[in-house]
Amino acid sequence: MGRSVAFLRAINVGGHTVKMAELRRLFGDLGFTGVETFIASGNVVFDAVDAPRAEVEARIAGGLEAALGYAVPAYVRSTTEVAQVAAFDGFGRFDDQSPGALNVGFLAEPLAADAVAAFRTAIDDFRVVGREVYWRCQKKQSESKFSAAVFERGTGVQVTFRGFRTVVRLATKYPPR
């Protein structure tokens, strides 16, 4: 798999606090090298073993659950895939002056494009591209009724969301090799 990023769910939210040094150590204990964390919200950059993505995700999720005592789903993307996610332009170019927010939801498997239709509102729009769902909120997110919990209840699929700017920063700092 090469250089990869694990987007972890349930790290430093909902009362689950994990120090980044501890998270790096745990990844090392799982046999990964070149481990770095990117902001304290469950983004771990590492050199993946030569194994299928699903196996790497299961190894991370299983190891973290054993060490931390709660489920930590892991959504792994290569640095090439992170760069592709950061290049998304499905709502028109999003920049710091744009009102509202653009978020990326990472999924374990592709989702049907129409799976998000029920979530659309006057202020919320969505695009599904492979294993990512992009959520554009035209106003402050606090004005939206949408959340990861709403998504999971409505689709039955687990997700972890990141701000689009965070993904762009990751892609810039860790370009494909």
pTM, rounded to two decimals: 0.93
The parent domain of residue 29 ranges over: 2-81
Residue 3: which of 37, 48, 33 has the closest Cα? 48
- pLDDT, residue 131, reads 97
Q: Are 62 and 133 in a shared domain? A: no
Cβ-in-10-Å burial (0-12, 13-18, 19+) of 19 comes to exposed
99: left (phi over 0), alpha (psi -120 to 50) or beta: beta
Confidence band, pLDDT 50/70/90 cuts, at residue 116: very high
- pLDDT, residue 52, reads 92
For residue 25, the domain's CATH number is 3.30.70.1280
Q: How many structural domains are present in the chain?
A: 2
- pLDDT, residue 14, reads 74
Question: Of the candidates 27, 47, 81, which is a domain's last residue?
Answer: 81
Task: Write out pLDDT tens, residues 4-50.
Answer: 999 999 887 777 789 999 999 999 999 999 999 999 889 999 998 78
Question: Of the candidates 21, 53, 81, which is a domain's last residue?
Answer: 81
Q: Are 105 and 168 in a shared domain? A: yes
